Amino acid sequence: MTTPQLWLTVLRCSSGLQRLHAIIMAKLQHFVDFIREKVEKENWTHNQLSEHFHSLYPSESGFSVRSIQRLCSKEGIKRTSRISDVDLDVAVSEAINKVGPTYGRKTMTGHLASEGLKVSETRVGKSLSRQNPSYHQARRTATARQMNPVPYRADYFGHKLHVDQNEKLIMYGVTHVCAIDGFSGKIVSFLSMPIKNNIEIYANLYRPIILDYGLWDQVRVDHGKEWVLMLFVQEQLAHLRRNPLRSPHIQTTSKQNHCIERIWVEINGRVNYPIKTALIQLEENGDIDMICMHVKFCVSWFTIRVAHVGTILP
């Protein structure tokens, strides 16, 4: 085959491919609205769309992943939102007023996505630096970011149960106790009570967890005496665990129970500190007298229910 003939064959093939692509694009144009909804609102991937179309039209071609990618590129269909920086700043500002200033770019991105606004982490980080510069700078310069700790390890849901208490409002008769699964980070139980109590912790925290989720291989707590009854029952049931070779519980300092310590920063910022500020102001104005046991009981009873609004589990 001579060179002119070769070029003629190439041009014919190229022209045929262009016509084929045009036919495929015309076929997919009928599904633009469907594809846009699935990608932007339901976060479908190109592979999922291709499999979906092939299941609906098994005998037809033109629904390959590459064809769907070309259509999405042509129509500007993306999984992230095309919201402007100004509108994004407004959304981030409203979110800060709602949840507090402690959220970083990852947590804030997840919060915005839960409200239907899908934006990349990079854009959210830049927006946080504009809307909340002081906290943004504090996160960048925090010494914890420069550390290289030993990696935490939990092999499966039910491996480690971290339990800890928070006493920021103890002077007003409120103590929080929280339990978190180390593998998933799921808050499996949260309890507020006037004072730390072994029976209360066992009956309303540990026992419901065991009945709902099963027995954890290991419970991790600090050296407080409020865990004695819970750890005793954990030892008695140790032979029923998934891995009976592990120690049924470990008591360490609060700093080493880091999985659960991290959530107290957010709970303090969103719940405990605002309530404490209001109660201190009431006490300084003479509106409440914490020496009176009747007033102390009423303040404790009411504050626990106010705190419950900010810490209630979904």
**How far from each other are the two terminal CA atoms of the chain, in whole angstroms?**
73
Per-residue pLDDT tens digits for 7-59: 445 344 455 445 655 666 666 777 778 887 777 777 778 788 888 888 887 77
CB 222 within 8 A of CB 164: yes
The answer to pTM > 0.95 is: no
CB 282 within 8 A of CB 161: no
Per-residue pLDDT tens digits for 177-202: 999 999 988 999 999 999 989 999 99
CB 91 within 8 A of CB 123: no
Residue 168 β-bridge partners:
none
CB 254 within 8 A of CB 224: no
Does CATH number 3.40.50.2300 belong to domain 160-311? no
Low-confidence stretches of the chain (pLDDT beneath 50) = 2-8, 10-13, 16-17
Helix, strand and coil content of the chain, in percent to the nearest 5, comes to 60, 10, 30
CB 143 within 8 A of CB 169: no
